[in-house]
Structure 1
Amino acid sequence: MADRGSSRAERGDGALWLSFGPAAHVYATHRPDCAPADSVVATLATRVGVLVMPDRARNATLSGIRAYLGSRQGTSRGEFTLPLLTGVLRVRRTS
């Protein structure tokens, strides 16, 4: 169990098996893409947070996103601009 006050994690037997330094967070913006709503929904379906959902929850989530995009004037017809932001978490192993 990991000690919240430390960057070290211990196995159940108390053996130290990982040690990491402080984490660095970086965000990068990208040139916006133009995409139709169906393409955006298909792209979202490939994200790990969606892939690991139970089938019913995944289908409901993607259907809800598609319905939302279809109900908005700026996203219901043709392509629209989709800004992209990538978040990176970097840690270095210290042992």
Structure 2
Amino acid sequence: MALLGNPFVGNSPKQLTPEELAQAIRVDLAGELEAIIGYEAHAMSTNDERVKKVLNHIADEERQHVGELQQLLYILSPKEMEQTEKGRQEIITQQQQNFQPAMQ
């Protein structure tokens, strides 16, 4: 929800360390994902195709923001990129095995 009235509500009281900035970007990512969920929920709740088209377009723009923020996070935190890539590779491997449980 927007906090109207105070134009400085989002200002940080100090310069952020790289670690604090990475954490702030994670919060920004969560906000973008939350916005996507909201726009898509609103699009699904109407039969007005004009409204659906606009809301889905806005949701796609938010997805681009997710990509931009994710890349910034990777620049600030190479460990984040390494761990994310490990997770991606795990799913790719599972997908190649048709998501069958590993034989023990």
Calculate the TM-score normalised by the size of structure 1: 0.31
Q: Which has the higher strand share?
A: 1
Q: Which has the higher helix share?
A: 2
Q: Which has the larger radius of gyration?
A: 1
Calculate the TM-score normalised by the size of structure 2: 0.29
